[in-house]
Structure 1
Amino acid sequence: MMIFTGEASILENANANEGLYVRLFEFKNVHWTKSAEHSEVLKDIMMNHYGHAGIKFVQYLLTKDPEEIKGIWQGYKKELEEQLPDTKFASRVGGKFALILTGARLANESLGINLSIENITQMLIEQEEASMDVRELAPKFYNALLQYILQNRRSFKYKDLEVNSNQEIYGKIEVVNGKTFCYIFPIILKKIATELGFPDLQVLLDELKRKGYLKHDTNKTLIKKQVFKKDELELREKVLNKKDYSPKGDYTHCIVYEGNILHDFDKFEEKESEKIKGFDPNSIPGNRKITSKPKNLADLFDDN
């Protein structure tokens, strides 16, 4: 075990994965000392008196049967699993937190101190609840991204709808076998994630991949897709800053949604198309009243 302090979150600045979230535990916004003076006194004492408790603690451990210590750990692990949030990580996190509680109990026994097992337990549970919120960011991002796509559907190539050279193209949308595949360029998805308040995109992609919400190549979170046609090189260069045409397509992140997310959009397009097809300029009423030229400007403001 390593315990250290820092000014920034390692998890937020690391290429994190699920394993890291159950190995590295961050305690944020905790007031470890009562005041600045309290902190200085602790530093002064610790700089001049350290190591003695460690020796006594280890000597006490050597008098204990390893199986007895293991039994204490197992008891705390079971209790924690019942109190921790009901997630797939409960057993792994419970096992690690149980080590802390076991150490606290043995410290109390060996050093004659009174560390509060109850308060430590509560603090650990609160930490796990906060970490769980981080791990559950993927579903929130998944839903927020759906709304973003719907709001910016004109920026996605879809069917044979034309796009003009002034548009910023985010990717392509296809509806196949009752599912919607949203192919989004990595540089665009990174920008969208940041805009939506999700700075660590890779963690989100790994979780979406685990949940089956990502179409991807083997061992990747990316997949190639032909978004731009051969005669759209200028538009492709504008979006991706790439000049050469790629016959196999460009790398994208493909987010998969159940159903046709553009169903309402399709219905709207069909309705507008029918309006244009059925438009008859001769059907406009021809009996509009034509007024004669006013004798003076004041007549323009007549009630009629």
Structure 2
Amino acid sequence: MLYTLTEGVGRSRARSDGRLREVSTWSTTILSSGELDIFNRLSENTGLKMRVFNFRDIPWTESADQSEAIKACITANHGWLLSAFIEYLFTEDADIEHYFEEAIEVLRDDSNLTITSERVFKKLAVITATANLLNDTEILEVDVKAIYDLVVSQENEANQTRDIAKQAHERLMQYLLANQSLISSGSRSKIGYIEGQTVCIYRDQLTKILKELGFEDARIVRKK
């Protein structure tokens, strides 16, 4: 489902006469909250981790009372902000593309950002450009710098978990240390053997171990 929502391109389907239907395309940002960390369900899927920004361990409110007050306010006043924002964008002829391109440029020039992927820049720019646009409507004032610092710090943290080769190597070393009985020096064992200072693992066994460790495609790990 995550791939479908974030890919931005619908499935190609055929008409009754055999011709292909027009493929739907979109570009959007979806916000979702929950009690469980979504990354716990992604295994070691780097492709999805590039598409999902995970904001965790952040104290969004200062107390339970403040949280309840926010809920009460939103419940009593929901529905008007979005329509007012959309109306501003169209009636004031806001240059959305300019805000977006400017936000991307700021991210490109930020030496504190550890990732250099254009795809990530564009996805983060949707958030920061929207914050700037919202401030200019004067409907609601938000702390743009705080939002920017938040998305950058979270992205830097997330980027550390996307090095699939490093993660696979560390997890594999832990596995071999915990299962030393399965491999020995001077003889061929179930999963491989030791030759000098090198641990040799049979290809099919390596694939099996990596899948057991949560890496869905061993071929990608081997390439890295």
Match for residue 19 of structure 1?
Answer: 47
1:118 to 125, 133, 145: 145
| Match status 1:38 vs 2:66 | yes
Q: Structure 1: which amino acid aligns with 2:192?
A: K
Q: Which residue of 2 aligns with 1:2?
A: 30
Change in CA separation of 1:207 and 1:162 when aligned onto 2, cut-off 3 Å: closer
Q: Tell me which amino acid in the other structure corresponds to 1:24.
A: V
**How far off is 1:17 after superposition?**
2.9
Pair 1:201 & 2:221 matched: no
1:127 paired to 2:140: no
Do the aligned partners of residues 206 and 34 (structure 1) sit closer, same or farther apart at CA in structure 2, a change above 3 Å counting?
A: farther
Equivalent residue number for residue 201 of structure 2: 182
- Contact map agreement 2:168 2:210 (CA 8 A) in 1: no
Secondary structure at 2:216's aligned position in 1? helix
Alignment root-mean-square deviation, CA:
3.1
**From 132, 156, 163, the counterpart of 2:183:** 156
| Distance in structure 1 (CA, Å) of the matches to 2:211 and 2:84 | 53
Q: Which amino acid aligns with 2:130?
A: G
Give, in angstroms, the shift of residue 149 of structure 1.
Answer: 3.7
Cα 1:206–1:28 change in 2 (3 A) is: farther
Aligned length: 191
Structure 2, unmatched stretches of 5+, are 1-28
Larger deviation, residues 77-86 vs 113-122:
77-86
Q: Is the 8 A contact 1:174 1:180 kept in 2?
A: yes
Instruction: Tell me the CA shift for residue 52 of structure 1.
Output: 1.6
1:160-239 mapped onto 2 (5 Å cutoff): 161=187, 169=190, 171-173=191-193, 181-183=200-202, 184=205, 193=213, 200-202=214-216, 205=218, 207-211=220-224
In the TM superposition, residue 60 of structure 1 has moved relative to its aligned partner by 0.7
Q: Is the 8 A contact 1:138 1:208 kept in 2?
A: yes
Aligned to 1:302: none
Q: How much has 1:49 moved relative to structure 2? A: 0.8
CA distance in 1 between counterparts of 2:151 and 2:220 reads 24
Runs of at least 4 residues off by over 4 Å: 150-154, 185-191
2:84 aligns with one of 46, 50, 56: 56
Tell me the SS of whatever aligns to 1:107: helix
Paired amino acid for 1:113: L
| Code of the aligned partner of 1:126 | S
8 Å Cα contact 2:85/2:137 also seen in 1: yes
Contact 1:53–1:111 (Cα < 8 Å) also in 2 = no
Q: How has the CA–CA distance of structure 1 residues 22 and 151 changed in structure 2, closer, same or farther, with 3 Å as cutoff?
A: closer
1:186: how far off?
5.7
Q: Which has the larger radius of gyration?
A: 1
1:41 Cα offset (Å): 1.0
d(CA) in 2 for partners of 1:210, 1:101: 35
Among 55, 70, 74, the alignment partner of 2:97 is: 70
Offset, 1:158? 6.9
Query: In the TM superposition, what is the alpha-carbon distance from 1:117 to its structure 2 partner?
Result: 1.4
Counterpart amino acid of 1:69? I
Paired residue type of 2:108: E
8 Å Cα contact 1:56-1:111 kept in structure 2? no
Counterpart of 2:26 in structure 1 is none
Q: Specify whether residues 182 and 42 from structure 1 end up closer, same or farther in structure 2 by C-alpha distance, changes over 3 A only.
A: same
Q: Sort the Cα spacing of 1:152 and 1:80 in 2 relative to 1 into closer, same or farther, 3 A.
A: same
Q: Flag the 1:70–1:152 CA change in 2: closer, same or farther, 3 A.
A: same
Structure 1 residues 151 and 28: alpha-carbon distance in aligned structure 2, compared to 1, 3 A threshold: closer
